Structure formats: structure tokens, C-alpha cells
Amino acid sequence: MVRVRFAPSPTGYLHVGGARTALYNFLFAKKEKGKFVLRIEDTDIERSKREYEERLIDAMKWLSLEWDEFYRQSERLQLYREVAQRLVDEGKAYYVYAYPEEIEKIREELLSQGKPPHYDQEILASFDTPQRRKEYEEKGLHPAIYFKMPDKEYSFNDAVKGEVVFKKGTIGDFAIMRSNGLPTYNFAVVVDDAYMEITHVIRGDDHLSNTLRQLAIYEALGKKPPVFAHVSMILGPDGSKLSKRHGATSVEEFRDRGYLPEALLNYLALLGWSHPEGKEVMTLEEMIENFSLDRLSKNPAIFDPKKLRWINSEHIKMLSNEELLNVAKPYFEKAGYTADDEKLIKILNAIKDRLHELSEIPELADYFFEKPDVDVTFEDNEKQALREIIENLNKIEWIRKDIVKAFSPRKKYKVKSKDFFHKLRVALTGKEQGVELDVLIEILGKEEFKKRVERYIN
Ligand code: GLU
């Protein structure tokens, strides 16, 4: 059975890159009827925060990327210690009693001799003296544990990148347990992926070079590595790695600006994957249905906020009246705009074609709630026509067809339609453009129409 995981470190908000990784894992699990594991990688105690974990989980839930199993690495420390100890017992790893400054010094010396900064047991074992052991014990420190990197070539077949080869001698020995008793990333990730029986690791290609250490650890544990799929990075429009300086990058920011979760997922899916028929606007079900690792792209994708806006507007159009009302209500409320549901639905339908982010609702709909304050000068014949139009409107049933008919006095007073309608729109809304006039008048209602027009004709 397929088992995949999303393994975020709770050191910040959920970035769109992380959300995309989570999505690909989720889609693959659903498509293959497998399991999706959420694993919080919180062993970097300085940078990990519970608050970030909570925000991350909220964002995942908002995106409806629900997981089947949940783990926290900080609750699995015993396992990492046991496995590391086993490697020591088997001679595949060893204790290191050197302080970080000393390790750094070795590195500098190697570099100054023109050698690659690779550690080995011979160099590091020299610190393992009875006196040092005593010192560590007194200070309550654990020796670090270093993994003996075999001197050989490693290679694997990546589902996205193809054959990847790491030449012999690329790296030296490396730490798997720190002196604070916590595992390093490369070690914990392999122990967990192996023990959780993860079959496919889908993650960003910033981890490609880590795969070398991870392959060596799998080998030492006698476990078969999973299939790796390293997904290309998301870049900003200038071609550098997408970051805050390119604008909004967190899932929370897009949520607050009024992106629908299904639209954000749809756009993220397209940043590195494509539908077999090139379809661009998709529901989550369609993405699941069509997802496969062989359609992941080798090339980095450029984050295009305009395209995301467009996809969001397409998903807004797909909502039913009730769904749209539900997601839109908070934005009306925040602006202090109140009306009954029926009227709000009418307004939403009127502005829907121009709505890209739900946070634009107040600026697109303000004139339904606030009388504009503008100067408009109607000619005498236009004023006469308007007076008669108001009289007509008083008599009709308030439906769009009859509203249009009530405007017939235009002809009698030789009113130029284009100018007249333009002025009327400005008088009613304070804006040059917007909703169709008959729709607008219907929603405003008889009384409000009269109130807004009368000041210009008396
Ligand atoms: N905790 C790592 C990260 O957030 C996970 C990397 C991996 O998927 O192996 O980058």
C-alpha cells in the first residue's frame, strides 16, 4: 500500500511551496488509495514553536488536506536514540566528545590545507579521552554520534529527476545525534520514513543533496529506501526562489485576501504538475483522478499571482449562491455592510464577474450600501425625462423588464442615451463603471433610486 508523508518543520507559517508538497502527497495518496501521514519535524528545539505547528495545522485543515496519521518527532526521541545506539554497537557510528568549536576548528584546518572538510573517525576519536568523558558527564552532556559514511558511490532513480548519482567521496562522516540528545534532520527523517513504512517521498528538490546521507543511513539500517520524487522549486517572477519579497507567500495571507482553498490548491497543483489534457481549472476530485508522479515537471515553476487571481475568479463562479454567500459574508460584515441574505445574493451575482479576491467585495459593492457623493449635471431635457421615469417606476411591478420599459420617456425628450446613462450611473454609484444599470436599479429599489436621483433634478 502506498504510504506518503508531509513532514513540515514548525519553524514558520505554511508557505505555498510547503502547501504544494503537501498537496502532491495528498493527491498521490488519494489516487493510489493509500495513506497520508502528517509528521511534525520539531527536533530543532531553538526554531520549532507550538504556535507555528497550530497555524500549520489550521492551514492544512482550511485547505482540506486531511491526514490519516499524525506524529510529532519530539515524541519519538527514544526510538532515534535506540537506533543510533544500535548503529554504534554495530560499528557503523561512533561517539564524538568534541565541542562544536573544536569541530569547527578541524573544518577550518582541513580547508586551509586545501582538503575537503570531511570528518572521519580517526580525526574525531582523538577527543574521546577518559577526562573528556568525565567532563561530559559532569556537565550533563551526551556525546554526539557520528555516522561512518561508507566510501562509495550512491545512486538512485528519482521519479522526477531520473538517475541521480553521488560520487564516491562527496561527503565525510556526519552527526546523527547531537550532544543535546536530539537527532539531526537526516537521521530522524530516515528512521521515521523507514519505521512508518513510507513508500514514496515527495518533497522539494532543495532536499536532493540530503538524499545521499539518507541513502547511506537506509543501507546501514538494512532498510529499502522509498521511491523519491524531488519536485522543482517555485520561483518568483525574477527567477529567484520564491520568498516574502515577491509578495504574499503564506497560505494564511491568501486565505485572508479571499482566496478559496480549492482555487489555491488548483493553482498550486499546476506549479509543477499538469493535467493530461492540459485542463487548468479543476476541482480537487479531478486533480485526484488525474494525478500521477510522471506528470511532475522537471523545470522550476514561476509563481504568477495574476494567474492565481484568474483561477480564483473561476472557482468563485463555480460556487452556488449559498456557498458564495457563506464565504462572502465575513467581507460584507467587516465593511459594516448589512442586508438580508436575498439581497446579498443579488449583489454577489451582480459583481461576480469582476470578483477575483473576496476581499474586493467592499470596493465592488460599496454603492449598494452607501450613497455616493458626486456632482453630476443633467441637462433640462434629461431632468424632465428623469421626472417622468421616476413617475413610471412608481407604478410598475419591480422587475427588470418593467424597469427597462419605464425609461421610455428618453425618446420624447430627445435624450442622448449614452451620455444620459453614463451620468445616471455616476449619480447612482459614484463610479464610471460597474453593474448593468437595470440590475443596479433593481437591487437599489424604488425608494433608494428616487433618493439618489432627486437631488440632481430639483
Ligand atoms: N522537515 C523537512 C522540511 O521541512 C522535511 C524534508 C523532507 O520531506 O524530508 O523541509
Mean pLDDT of 316-332: 98
Distance 18 CA to ligand 1 centre (A): 9
From CA 338, how far away is CA 185, in angstroms rounded? 52
**Cell numbers of 71, please?**
506524529
From CA 144, how far away is CA 213, in angstroms rounded? 17
**Cell numbers of 364, please?**
465592488
Which residue of 21, 40, 41, 52 sits with most ligand 1 atoms within 8 Å of its CB, as the best mutation to test the pocket? 41
Predicted confidence (pLDDT) per residue in 13-45, tens digit? 999 999 999 999 999 999 999 999 999 999 999
Predicted confidence (pLDDT) per residue in 268-302, tens digit? 999 999 999 999 999 999 999 999 999 999 999 99
Distance 66 CA to ligand 1 centre (A): 18
The answer to whether 425 touches 432, Cβ cutoff 8 Å, is yes
Domain residue extents for the chain: 3-69+187-235, 78-177, 244-316, 320-366, 380-457
From CA 350, how far away is CA 177, in angstroms rounded? 61
Distance 204 CA to ligand 1 centre (A): 8
From CA 352, how far away is CA 333, in angstroms rounded? 18
The answer to whether 111 touches 117, Cβ cutoff 8 Å, is yes
- The residue with greater pLDDT, 385 or 244, is 385
Given the residues 61, 105, 152, 244, select the one marked as catalytic: 244
Provide the Cα torsion 71, 72, 77, 79; round to 10°.
10
> Which residues, other chains included, contact 227 with Cβ-Cβ below 8 Å and sequence gap of 6+?
159, 199, 200, 201, 293
Catalytic site includes residue 244: yes
The answer to whether 196 touches 5, Cβ cutoff 8 Å, is yes
Distance 185 CA to ligand 1 centre (A): 8
**CATH class in words for 3-69+187-235:** alpha beta
> What's the one-letter identity of residue 54?
E
Provide the pLDDT for residue 106. Answer: 95
Provide the pLDDT for residue 200. Answer: 98
Instruction: With cut-offs at 50, 70 and 90, classify the pLDDT of residue 437.
Output: very high
Instruction: With cut-offs at 50, 70 and 90, classify the pLDDT of residue 458.
Output: confident
Residue whose CA is closest, atom 10 of ligand 1?
8
- Mean pLDDT rounded to a whole number for the chain: 96
Q: Which of the following CATH numbers is that of domain 320-366: 2.60.40, 1.20.1410, 1.10.3470, 1.10.8?
A: 1.10.8
Cα Rg for the chain, rounded, in angstroms? Answer: 32
**Cell numbers of 168, please?**
564516491
Residue whose CA is closest, atom 3 of ligand 1?
8
Please state which CATH number belongs to domain 78-177: 3.90.800.10
Provide the pLDDT for residue 1. Answer: 97
Residue whose CA is closest, atom 4 of ligand 1?
8
The domain covering 244-316 belongs, at the CATH homologous superfamily level, to Glutamyl-trna Synthetase; Domain 2 (1.10.1160.10)
Number of the ligand 1 atom closest to the C-alpha atom of 206: 10
The answer to whether 84 touches 177, Cβ cutoff 8 Å, is yes
Provide the pLDDT for residue 401. Answer: 94
Number of the ligand 1 atom closest to the C-alpha atom of 11: 4
Domain 380-457 grouped into CATH 1.10.10.350: yes
Which residue of 4, 5, 9 sits with most ligand 1 atoms within 8 Å of its CB, as the best mutation to test the pocket? 9
The answer to whether residue 177 scores a pLDDT higher than 90 is: yes
Number of the ligand 1 atom closest to the C-alpha atom of 5: 8
The answer to whether residue 190 scores a pLDDT higher than 90 is: yes
> Do the domains 320-366 and 78-177 match in fold?
no
The answer to whether 396 touches 406, Cβ cutoff 8 Å, is yes
From CA 371, how far away is CA 456, in angstroms rounded? 13
From CA 351, how far away is CA 288, in angstroms rounded? 32
The answer to whether residue 349 scores a pLDDT higher than 90 is: yes
Provide the pLDDT for residue 449. Answer: 96
Provide the pLDDT for residue 96. Answer: 97
| pTM of the shown model | 0.94
Residue 30: how many other CB atoms lie within 10 Å: 19
- CA nearest neighbour of 363 among 321, 329, 332: 332
Distance 378 CA to ligand 1 centre (A): 66
Provide the pLDDT for residue 244. Answer: 86
Across the strands, what pairs with 404? none
Q: Which residues line ligand 1 (CB under 6 A)?
A: 7-9, 41, 189, 203, 207
